[in-house]
Copies of this chain bind each other. A is one copy, B any other.
């Protein structure tokens, strides 16, 4: 009765959402305060106060027919201009409102980009580990993802493998830095090499191959790392952005797509993305929230909150003997499973009320992801539970 695709999607449904549900069930049994739920990337620090004030001001000052009404499928021009100006001042670009399309979050953005450029049978190269939904997004357009393994020391992409992953069917390379699930930021050297390989493959195959940059964690960087914006490395770059993390608005579904003028036939791409936004059923990004984020475009989230969690969790786990990749951005910690099958490790951890997500959900078994967007006091208390878990695997404490 259900379509074949939805049947398949139900069978292999989101491991992240499944662990979130397991965490909720556990909370009902032992009390929410006793469950350490590292499953979901749901921001834990509230939206800046200025955001709510901006909404109040809009309600007071704007004509409700404009504030809640239809606009161009690509969004309000003044909102798009505000975003273009903000990007220009931060990254030295020269966008106008015409380069920006407002979207229903980054998930909506990636889907309208894919609808615009992917034909059935096309391939999208992704770097493992990667956000599992990318597979579903490509499958929406009968395309598939081709995963490239990481360098297991640094979790930068393995660029020799990347070079081998291209075929005649490669239409795009999808990149996500700061990375979900590893927290790694791709280095300048990595990005330059990715761009060089892309250019050589475009020449070899005599066609455009797009770099699609999924940037929801752009502003979540630590240790004075530079915020990066990827259009500068490679002309045929399309950016998908979301305010979900930077302004703690994941439920509001608000983001944007950027197509630089340097992209081949940029105007056609923008026209296609606008039509895809309409015909996929998004129609336009939510109107009030478009104007609210434009009013708060230079606000930032409480980075110190996540940074403290990051340090406490990373240092705590390393001291207990766990092997962790030190996160440079986003709010995820990537931990090596002490046993080869990390599903066993996830199950064992649950006995100590620790809710983790298995790495195979991100195309990279043998590891687990911890989303450390929970209250800091819980991070601290969780370390006692991790200490018990470490004993199960006879881990030896380390000094940093």
Q: Which of A5-13, A89-97, A149-157 contacts B (4 or more CB under 8 A)?
A: A5-13
Kindly report which residue of chain B lies nearest to residue A207, judged by CB atoms: B1
A389 CA to B217 CA, complexed, in Å:
57
> In the bound complex, do residue B275 and residue A6 qualify as a contact, i.e. CB atoms below 8 Å apart?
yes
Q: Which of B59, B119, B133, B286 is in CB contact (< 8 Å) with A252?
A: B286
> In the bound complex, do residue A2 and residue B105 qualify as a contact, i.e. CB atoms below 8 Å apart?
no
Q: Which of A26-34, A68-76, A183-191, A319-327 contacts B (4 or more CB under 8 A)?
A: A68-76
> In the bound complex, do residue B251 and residue A10 qualify as a contact, i.e. CB atoms below 8 Å apart?
no
Q: Which of A43-51, A161-169, A226-234 contacts B (4 or more CB under 8 A)?
A: A43-51
Kindly report which residue of chain B lies nearest to residue A117, judged by CB atoms: B3
> In the bound complex, do residue A248 and residue B68 qualify as a contact, i.e. CB atoms below 8 Å apart?
yes
Q: Which of B7, B9, B59, B207 is in CB contact (< 8 Å) with A52?
A: B59
Question: For A3, A208, A289, which residue has the most chain B Cβ atoms within 10 angstroms?
Answer: A3
Contacts A68-B47, A250-B70, A283-B253: A10 and B111 contacting too (C-beta < 8 A)?
no
Q: Which of A262-270, A334-342, A352-360 contacts B (4 or more CB under 8 A)?
A: A262-270
> In the bound complex, do residue A281 and residue B137 qualify as a contact, i.e. CB atoms below 8 Å apart?
yes
Copy tally for this chain in the complex stands at 2
Q: Which of B42, B56, B286 is in CB contact (< 8 Å) with A289?
A: B286
Kindly report which residue of chain B lies nearest to residue A250, judged by CB atoms: B70
Question: A398 near B: Cβ within 8 Å?
Answer: no
Contacts A43-B65, A104-B253, A250-B70: A275 and B116 contacting too (C-beta < 8 A)?
no
A117 / chain B contacts, CB cutoff of 8 Å: 1-3
A140 CA to B111 CA, complexed, in Å:
12
Closest 9 CB pairs of A and B: A251-B287, A111-B281, A107-B281, A136-B279, A46-B64, A6-B272, A286-B286, A108-B281, A68-B249
